Structure 1
Amino acid sequence: MVDWGAGRYETTAEELAPVSERVVDRSGVGADTDVVDVACGTGNAALLAAARGARVIGVDGAPRLLAVARERAAARGLEVDLREGDLAALPVNDGAADVVLSVFGVIFATDPAAALREIARVLRPDGRALVTAWVPAGPIDAMLGAAGRVMARVAPGPPRKRFAWFDPEALAPVARESGLTLATTEPAELEIRAASPEAYVDAGSEHPMALAMRPALERAGAGEEARAAMIDVLREANESPSAFLVHSPYVLHGLRRTS
């Protein structure tokens, strides 16, 4: 189980900021728009929407990340209503939102259908949702796969079942049954930079998912093996001759509430 308030998710949130900018741009939110940011984390998308004049509710299950988001909002003089809540039971009234945003957030729901039903519930009849999902391809996915293979060897267990959020053919029928219509799917890439592959891996060592894996790796004495495997993948994929640069693919789904 991942504790999303553990470690330093802020590092990853900063890396993902360009995606939030793209999502908020595509959403067209502005004054007199009611927005709900689902799994808002440190508030990237919520703050951008609020800066454009929207009335924003941000929901997340990690109190520490909500505290970071509050501090960021206060520093920018922005009003954002930040609430602790579960993806399957959003603390938001029915039909409260013109727009729902979720930047790599709802994709971690243990029950995708329930999470999509909640998005449909909080949307107004003409409301829309924008959801980003990672595509299982590219260097970052390969890096995580390398670490996962080490983890599977030292702490074997049943494979985790993951819903294919990136795949419109998988998402569309579940969305439809949940009261949403998948209208668009836009491919995109996130540019990721660091001083070196080693620096990137080490910066990610405080990510909540990395912390969740660490005890099993340390008990098996495999922590350095996992680090080396990740660095090898990134060195091979590196696009920069003097630092570190890769591109990670994702999709931006546009959904509408089914009338």
Structure 2
Amino acid sequence: MHTRLHTQKNAPTLFQGRGSRIYDRVARWALRGLYRRIAEDVAALAPHGGAVLDAGTGPGVLLVEIARRRRDLRVTGLDLSADMVAAAERNAADFGDRVAARVGDVTAPPFPDGSFDLVVTSFSSHHWDDPAGAVPGLARVLRPAGRLAVYDFSFAPFDVLADTAREHGLFTGAPPLRTVVGTGVPVLPRCVRQVMTAAS
């Protein structure tokens, strides 16, 4: 049984057209420090030469920050909004084929099984219409012992993700680990990070 109700919903109009351009500017300037902090975590988690998926990538600011820190990684963004994916491709153009972005849904990521060593999502999961449905989709694209790292507000569906994984026998490599992490951003000094590990 899920211990917390998931009440947030996707708001696609916020991430299309003019909304996508505004969000792109805010993410690249006001929230850059936040994405740098998460990128440092991702750089420490990802194996050498690994593949990382950023689910709900938005304008790809996290993609850029990860690629700057780890030249050995291949980084891919996934987002429902074609406008956000276009912004991500523009923002990451300097990194060539090391960084890519695709339109798609977390419940059915458009990638083959076992494509990634690490899936990260930052401040996206509280927008997902079906967070429970995202668990098998994201587990499918992870390699053995791969990890899902979710960064979000405390009201995000962390319990739904962990409960669904347990109910379906997914992410059994280690118990879910939930911690509060500092962001380095005064307006949002802390967020919650939950890491779940696939079986090896």
Q: In 2, Cα distance between the equivalents of 1:92 and 1:59?
A: 10
Q: In 2, Cα distance between the equivalents of 1:101 and 1:57?
A: 10
Where does residue 57 of structure 1 map in the other structure?
A: 76
Q: In 1, Cα distance between the equivalents of 2:97 and 2:32?
A: 17
1:5 aligns with 2:16: yes
Shift of the alpha carbon at 1:18? 2.7
- Flag the structure with more relative contact order, 1 or 2, with Cα contacts below 8 A and sequence separation at least 6: 1
1:42 aligns with 2:33: no
Q: Is the 8 A contact 2:52 2:76 kept in 1?
A: yes
Q: Is the 8 A contact 1:132 1:252 kept in 2?
A: yes
Matched residue type, 2:195: G
Q: In 2, Cα distance between the equivalents of 1:56 and 1:174?
A: 26
Q: Is the 8 A contact 1:106 1:115 kept in 2?
A: no
Going from structure 1 to structure 2, the CA distance change for 1:170 and 1:113 (only over 3 Å counts) comes to closer
Q: Deviation per CA, 1:137-167, whole angstroms, max 9, x where unpaired? A: xxxxxxxxxxxxxxxxxxxxxxxxxxx425x
Shift of the alpha carbon at 1:190? 4.1
Q: In 2, Cα distance between the equivalents of 1:73 and 1:21?
A: 15
Q: Which is richer in helix?
A: 1
Q: In 2, Cα distance between the equivalents of 1:89 and 1:171?
A: 15
Structure 1 unmatched ranges of 5 or more: 137-163, 193-244
Q: In 2, Cα distance between the equivalents of 1:23 and 1:190?
A: 8
Q: In 1, Cα distance between the equivalents of 2:152 and 2:65?
A: 19
Please say which structure displays the higher CA radius of gyration: 1
1:258 aligns with 2:199: yes
Q: In 2, Cα distance between the equivalents of 1:42 and 1:5?
A: 11
Q: In 2, Cα distance between the equivalents of 1:92 and 1:185?
A: 27
Where does residue 20 of structure 1 map in the other structure?
A: 35
Matched residue type, 2:199: T
RMSD over aligned Cα atoms = 2.4
Matched residue type, 2:171: L
Question: Pick from 171, 175, 187: which aligns with 1:180?
Answer: 171
TM-score, normalised to structure 1's length?
Answer: 0.61
Q: In 1, Cα distance between the equivalents of 2:102 and 2:74?
A: 14
Going from structure 1 to structure 2, the CA distance change for 1:76 and 1:56 (only over 3 Å counts) comes to closer
Count of residue correspondences: 178
Over the matched positions of the two proteins, sequence identity in percent amounts to 31
Matches within 5 A, 1:2-151: 2-3=12-13, 4-6=15-17, 7=19, 8-14=22-28, 15-27=30-42, 28=44, 29=46, 31-51=48-68, 52-53=70-71, 54-75=73-94, 79-136=98-155
Q: Deviation per CA, 1:104-126, whole angstroms, max 9, x where unpaired? A: 12332111111111110100111
Structure 2 unmatched ranges of 5 or more: 1-10
